[in-house]
Structure 1
């Protein structure tokens, strides 16, 4: 809708003359999200007598993939429109001082920003807590306690950088019978790869795990299995083969092997026989007793990780799929089940997932951090706040521009909360706590993918808490070492006085 009129205005200057006199005042909200085409259209609409006002926060510029950039708020607006006056919106009324202080300690590390601070209105008399936890299970238990004490599940949001990082969290929610919905994505039991791994687990011990499922459900699991690794079947043939296998699991390997008669290429026949042999090995395996060992056996027998990388390449999609497997292994290790117990548990969780009423509004919401901008909840969980969760396995080779983009995204995520922010990071919380004693909003340069996110280190949480514990609005700011605290203190002291 914007591109077409912009192209018209670019070609036809007379049309620009006509529209530039239509409006006396133009107000643009969320101006930090504007891109080049939108800015061009805005310039065309602003005439000699038009007053234009833009409202935005450069620290919330997170839609780079749509073309937004800090440039327009920092420089572009002043270059395109003359006589510009700039005003700072003084306060936030959403959350308490602790969120403001931690957010400031993080975001000041960005260079492309205005030199302003996020400040909680001093007379708000509102506290917001922050908890950093090292596992999904721990935060799920916290959320369950909140709901049991009367908190509506709809007042809780789980914010993720990547949807496929939620495997353990979703399974933990189902395990503890917490209803949830995923905004703009599918739940874990609808993920094809997850269904495939679950299917292969059921294939162990002569296909024992399939017994409790209906024929229709077995067909769906087997169709997923036929995609990992792929036999490159047409849709109707895959449906027919899955139905055939589902009616008699013991003949699965033979049914797959029979496909070699339908192809004329030797390499295709070899692939079919290799997959058939893997199915037979899994079906006949009655020795493996531990669930996590069974998953390892599946991955090795089918060479699944290599197959995923081969199909998806070194892409976000490939890494996301591998995260599903990692999450499944992590959940299995955490429960310490035997294989039979784990299959039974997955069946219970699968049944519970199907029974959840997706139209029920009182559910925990899981959504992406990008989608959460502009929204707020009483309780927010920032999930998978790890280096790998934000930067992938090349976290040490990220350029400054990407780091600033991700820092803004994290800033947006932690400022969606009103009452309590939970951050699920990694098992290096002891190191994180030690770093906080340094009292600097920086981060160690040797962080690995599985370590807590660098922005958590920058957050300087302990010093923020100590400042608030000792804070006196009439205290001399000379006693404060942290320049952010000094500026914050001066601002709130002025308001209180």
Structure 2
């Protein structure tokens, strides 16, 4: 394929990207604007026109699947020699190759999870091993490592960054330090250490840096708004002062700041590289004008100077639908009815998604869809090729491929093998059996698709192995249930954004302006996943008959024809005068000695820290156990539900009504609505136990 053919069928802005074959180049690409098409054609054009050899290109992205898609497109464009990898895969390949030469011995073993080492660290420190809490601590360690913060500097850095530690910062420091010591002793590396060591080896060994830089002369980085400081360090080390770099990203889709990612490398690219070519892609080929209009309006009030107003290229479609429900059960059942209507109108279930803020919200939709007889797929659960039934099927298919006869037909052979492990003509009703059936059916459907191209069983097995390596799962028939974070990079014909309420979107623990703006971008990401049909909904109460006190998200204000709640958290704390703050903050006295309380923790407890506490220890234990279970179920930090001080205040006052609970300092309407019923019930149980004693 020649350079002219590569440039054919590109729009003017995409062609501008493709023709900018020398860096530095910054592509600001809105959702659905064909950024992958633009950068792959740029690479192919540079190779075919002799600007660079294919082997000299390193294209870096964030997921194995995205890297696989880049390689596939580049093969189709006649440039199969280009390396397209994730940051971690590229770094691990280099580290493994050079380790025996410059360090000596076997390279360290890679660990995929920090939990086993953290559990051992807890044992060495004689500390509780709560897995839910350890997951939160692991996230804090990952944040510290990608932002290049040593264990001893964690507490100060976390405070400066406005992070709320899942446990005391000193505890995170001790566990972080013990984790790192164990990791080094056992000759292990985690994903962050892979990047760190690769950069260090290049810095300390000039011959390594020289060889890598001689190999890779031409760099492309996708999703540049998600780059963290450690990845930027490695990228700069790869470049070694050169600027043949093309970065692509969308500041409006920055939704991983909590992991250490920052959009400032993207938005500040032209400052770092004053001679950079900056190109904007704003023609949206994914969504209808109605969806694009709503996406643009979601960002109208965003606090960012780098908005990309999309321009729809598709014909008109239906208007987005906003629906208010009495409770979450009614919302889930209403969405199920809407999905059934779409399916009846010809929309495949695999082209429909229900997106929510936290994974715990999926349960109501799983129940509603099972009741309605609608198949569904949970995204973010087990990876497709790691599911037991899929691994078993691949082993059986691989064995059959070795003894396949020339006359065997692919589709019938695969169906025969899969029927032996659970594939039936009709789908089971639901639950695990249905999930297993959906996995096997996806393999059977893929076999039929490849059989139509003339593929045989060995070719099918090779395709499965390629897909497994790239995490490119075959489409599973069923409505996708996924969190907004898990949905990034995907798209469907129809999308339902559910639970769009204050306290959920923005999430209750988003307090600063920057955190709230990131929540707004999450909604934007959700809206732009839809090609044609889009529904947004919220429930006024959690359960049937509950108090209807919830409000639609502030982000919907002006979009639905209704007025969404104006929350104080949306405005800077400094916007109120000190006189206003004095009027709001009435003095609180100690309920034991009567002294005025100044410290926030004392105000929450309602007594001086030195005054005697009178509470039911069994109730406090029950509250902590309940909080642990909720945090695990909702996949959020325990402190985001209630802090230890708040739980102690609840145990001391033992409120027997939601109004009594609301009187405790620090418990607002949102948390009352989400957790009040359960907390009051625990207090009532404790009171009944005491009376019966």
Query: What is the TM-score when the length of structure 1 is the normalising length?
Result: 0.51
Residue 368 of structure 1 is matched in structure 2 by: 483
Alignment correspondent of 2:138: none
- Among candidates 126, 132, 137, match of residue 316 of structure 2: 126
> Is 1:407–1:455's contact at 8 Å kept on the other side of the alignment?
yes
Other-structure match for 2:536: 423
SS at match of 1:129: coil
| Cα shift readout 1:269-308 (whole Å, capped 9, x = no counterpart) | xxxxxxxxxxxxxxxxxxxxxxxxxxxxxxxxxxxxxxxx
Question: Where do 5+ consecutive residues of structure 1 fail to align?
Answer: 187-349, 429-447, 464-497
Q: Is the 8 A contact 1:165 1:389 kept in 2?
A: no
Q: Return the match for 2:556 from 456, 471, 475.
A: 456
Post-superposition offset of 1:59: 0.5
Contact 1:92 1:120 in 2 (8 A): yes
What secondary structure sits across from 2:377 in the alignment? strand
1:65, 1:151 → 2: CA distance?
36
Q: 1:449 to 1:109 in 2, by over 3 A?
A: farther
Query: Deviation string for 1:114-137 (max 9, x for gaps)?
Result: 14312212xx32325311123221
Summarize the Cα distance change of 1:354–1:392 in structure 2 as closer, same or farther, 3 Å threshold. Answer: same
**Secondary structure in structure 2 of the residue aligned to 1:390:** coil
Encode CA deviations 1:101-120: one digit per residue, 9 max, x unaligned: 22122223232341431221
Shift of 1:153: 0.7
Matched residues in 1 for 2:299 and 2:259: separation?
22
Does residue 85 (structure 1) correspond to residue 277 (structure 2)? The answer is yes
Deviation of the 1:34 alpha carbon: 1.0
**2:353 maps to what in 1?**
157
Change in CA separation of 1:415 and 1:115 when aligned onto 2, cut-off 3 Å: closer
Q: Are 1:358 and 2:358 matched, yes or no?
A: no
User: d(CA) in 2 for partners of 1:113 and 1:28?
Assistant: 22
Partner of 2:154: none
Cα shift readout 1:190-238 (whole Å, capped 9, x = no counterpart):
xxxxxxxxxxxxxxxxxxxxxxxxxxxxxxxxxxxxxxxxxxxxxxxxx
Q: SS of the counterpart of 2:320?
A: strand
Question: SS at 1:158's partner residue?
Answer: strand
> Which one of the candidate residues 158, 180, 185 is aligned to 2:381?
185
Superposed, 1:405-444 pairs within 5 Å as: 405-427=518-540
Q: Secondary structure at the match of 2:516?
A: helix
- Cα distance, 1:427 vs structure 2: 3.8
Relative distance call for 1:389 and 1:66 in structure 2 (3 A) is same
Q: Deviations over 1:442-473 (max 9, x none)?
A: xxxxxx98211111225x3559xxxxxxxxxx
- TM alignment of 1:168-207, pairs within 5 A: 168-185=364-381
Cα distance 1:179–1:7, how it changes in 2: closer, same or farther (>3 A)?
same
Q: What secondary structure, in the 3-state scheme, does the structure 1 residue paired with 2:503 have?
A: helix
1:94 is aligned to 286
Secondary structure at 1:384 match in 2? coil
Aligned to 2:514: 401
Query: Once the 2 structures are TM-superposed, how far is the Cα of residue 79 of structure 1 from its aligned partner?
Result: 4.2
- The aligned counterpart of 1:68 is 261
Instruction: Tell me the residue number matched to 1:254.
Output: none
The separation in 2 between residues aligned to 1:88 and 1:376, in whole angstroms, is 21
* Distance in 2, Cα, partners of 1:394 & 1:38: 27
1:110 is aligned to 2:210: no
Cα distance in 1 for residues equivalent to 2:309 and 2:287: 14
Larger helix share, 1 or 2: 1
Q: Which has the higher contact order (CA 8 A, sep 6+)?
A: 1
Shift of 1:87: 1.0
Match of 1:287 in 2: none
Q: Assess if the C-alpha contact under 8 Å between 2:203 and 2:237 holds in 1.
A: no
Q: How far apart are residue 55 of structure 1 and its match?
A: 1.0
Give the whole-Å Cα distance in 1 for the aligned partners of 2:308 and 2:362. Answer: 34
Q: How does 1:141-152 map to 2 (within 5 A)?
A: 141-152=337-348
**Cα deviations by residue, 1:239-290 (Å, 9 ceiling, x for unpaired):** xxxxxxxxxxxxxxxxxxxxxxxxxxxxxxxxxxxxxxxxxxxxxxxxxxxx
> Could you say if the C-alpha distance between residues 412 and 115 of structure 1 is closer, same or farther in structure 2, counting changes exceeding 3 Å?
closer
- 5 Å-filtered alignment, 1:171-250, equals 171-185=367-381
Distance 1:150 1:100, change over 3 A: closer
| Partner Cα distance (1:150, 1:99) in 2 | 20
CA distance in 1, matches of 2:200, 2:271: 22
Distance of aligned partners of 1:363 and 1:17 in 2 relative to their CA distance in 1, 3 Å threshold = same
How far apart are 1:364 and its partner, in Å? 0.7
- 2: distance between equivalents of 1:388 and 1:366? 21
Partner of 2:251: 58
Deviation at 1:388, TM superposition (A): 2.1
Gaps of 5+ in 2: 1-87, 89-194, 325-330, 383-427, 442-475, 542-547, 563-693
Secondary structure (helix, strand or coil) at the match of 2:533 reads strand
Name the CA shift for 1:41/1:423 in 2 (closer, same or farther; >3 Å).
Answer: same
RMSD: 2.7
Using the alignment, how far apart are the partners of 2:301 and 2:205 within structure 1?
44
Structure 1 residue matching 2:278: 3-state secondary structure: coil
Confirm or deny: 8 A CA contact 2:376 2:480 kept in the other structure.
yes
Alpha carbons of structure 1 residues 6 and 157: separation in structure 2 relative to 1, 3 Å: same
1:143-178 Cα offsets, whole Å, 9 max, x none, are: 112212332111111112111112222211111111
Question: Given that residues 347 and 493 in structure 2 are in contact (C-alpha distance below 8 angstroms), is that contact kept between their aligned partners in structure 1?
Answer: no
Paired residue secondary structure (1:88): strand
- Indicate how the Cα distance of structure 1 residues 82 and 376 shifts in structure 2: closer, same or farther if over 3 A, else same: same
CA contact (8 A) 2:494 2:532 kept: yes
